[in-house]
Amino acid sequence: MSSKSSAAQSGQALWTKMPKANAELFALTYGSLVTELVRDYEDPIEVNAQLDRIGHSIGVRCVDEFLSKADVAGMGMTTQCQSLRDTAEVVAKMGFKMFLGVQAEVGGFSQDQKSFSIYLQDNPLSTFVELPGDEQGGSDDLRRLKYSNVYCGVIRGALEQVNLKVECNIVRDTLKGDDLNEIRVELKEVLTDGAGDDYKEE
Amino acid sequence: MNLNKAPSNILDRPLDRPRSSDGVSLSAFAYIYSELVQYHQGRAASISELERRLESAGYGVGLKILELVAYRAKESKRETRLMSILHFVSSYVWKTLFGKSADSLERSIDHADEYMIVDYEPITSTFVSVPSDLGQLSVDAYLSGIIAGVLDGAGFSARVTAHSVKIEEGEVPPTGSGGFSVPGMPPRKEKAVFLVKFSPEVLSRDAALER
């Protein structure tokens, strides 16, 4: 992907071709999963970890769908991402758009170009959702719940499949009163292709 | 953080029909749903327990869907009769959730308290193939939970179960509308039958209204 606008255009083109499902059913289904996790694990930190794990399992599979569909649609995926900037553009403008119909923005690159932020204006997961606030007291623990943490897992899982080891964190969340959602992505390591040492012939 | 702006209160958010463009990809739904099934599968000891768990996951969703659909309906009337609530579910609720009506609504011949809602392509099993060791599992149990939630919320308590039924050769969906047929997917071999068994008090109330 060379220019910024082309990623957005490709994302839009991909989105129009995707069979659709009702966004509210989607949000409620996710809600039902989170509720179950909260009930089972109680500790919000553990729930966040579980959501991340679930996201990872989705991520490793949805990257395949993404690559095959982007390729079939002739989106010029023959040219690989040259830098993390390209990758960020593709994740935000094509990935998010293709699966969720919302466009995400990229920004906040660090000096060393190894971390960036994905900004999400609309979060399809958080429709109808309200987290217990300060004034309600009681279940104050739930304030530590990262409701949309599944995104982090998805991004981590998807990028892992293309040899990028990243760490993700939700740093701003509209459910907690921020004016937008921000996911911070940090590149840890570029993995090398090929079988691991365990599989090498002796 | 901007102090002038109060945290967005859920009560201030509009509940009206979403923007026309609203929707997510079927894939995104399928991924989340698949994780929901896997999660419950890991905690269920048997097939029927897995189905019960999926049903209870759907039940809460059904209650919320009922409120949402009722709020958005133009005429603010409440269905009080058995047939009209079933019709409400198979057309209104179905259209809201899946963009099409259910393929058919049938009354059981053998049992007066049983009705069947049939869907040839329920979205919960679009990309699902049930391994043989899970035999009779119907992953559409989540939808039966939603139906039970809607019915219960409307005052028609019922036991709803999902069943996968083999589609006979030459059998075509009555409506002929492939709401969620996905290009490149083989035709379905099974349809989903949601068996609705109403509680006795619901039936006696309906019989009383008949007079």
Mean residue pLDDT of chain B comes to: 86
Residues 6+ apart with CB under 8 A from B189: B166, B167
Domain of residue A135: give its range.
4-199
A22 vs B contacts (CB less than 8 Å):
23-24, 29, 96-99
- Provide the pLDDT for residue A202: 54
What are the CA-CA distances from residue B128 to residues A41, A65, A97, A149, B186 (Å)? 28, 16, 24, 25, 12
Return d(Cα A82, Cα A85) in angstroms, integer. 8
- Please answer yes or no on whether A101 and B22 come within 8 Å at the CB atom: yes
> Which is it for strands B104-107 and A104-107: parallel, antiparallel or unpaired?
unpaired
Summarised one tens digit per residue, pLDDT across range A96-155 is 999 999 989 999 999 999 999 999 998 999 988 888 766 555 555 788 899 999 999 999
Per-residue pLDDT of chain A (202 residues; tens, 9 = 90+): 445 568 888 888 889 989 999 999 999 999 999 999 999 998 999 999 999 999 999 999 999 999 888 865 555 555 678 889 989 999 999 999 999 999 899 999 999 999 999 999 989 999 888 887 665 555 557 888 999 999 999 999 999 999 999 999 999 999 888 889 999 999 999 988 766 666 666 5
Average pLDDT score over residue span B36-65? 95
- Please answer yes or no on whether A101 and B68 come within 8 Å at the CB atom: no
| ipTM confidence | 0.89
Tell which wins on pLDDT, B170 or A34.
Answer: A34
* B24 reaches A (C-beta below 8 A): yes
Give me B108's structure tokens. Answer: 């059981």
- Provide the pLDDT for residue B26: 93
For residue B79, pLDDT over 90 is answered with no
* B204 reaches A (C-beta below 8 A): no
B1 vs A contacts (CB less than 8 Å):
177-178
* B43 reaches A (C-beta below 8 A): yes
Instruction: With beta carbons less than 8 A apart as the criterion, state whether A156 and A167 touch.
Output: yes
* A39 reaches B (C-beta below 8 A): no
- Provide the pLDDT for residue B185: 77
Summarised one tens digit per residue, pLDDT across range B88-134 is 999 989 999 998 899 999 999 999 899 999 999 899 988 888 888 88
Beta bridge partners of B163: B193
Instruction: With beta carbons less than 8 A apart as the criterion, state whether A74 and A10 touch.
Output: no
Helices A23-41 and B26-41 cross at an angle (nearest 10°) of 20
Which domains does chain B carry? 26-210 (3.30.1380.20)
Count of domains forming chain A:
1
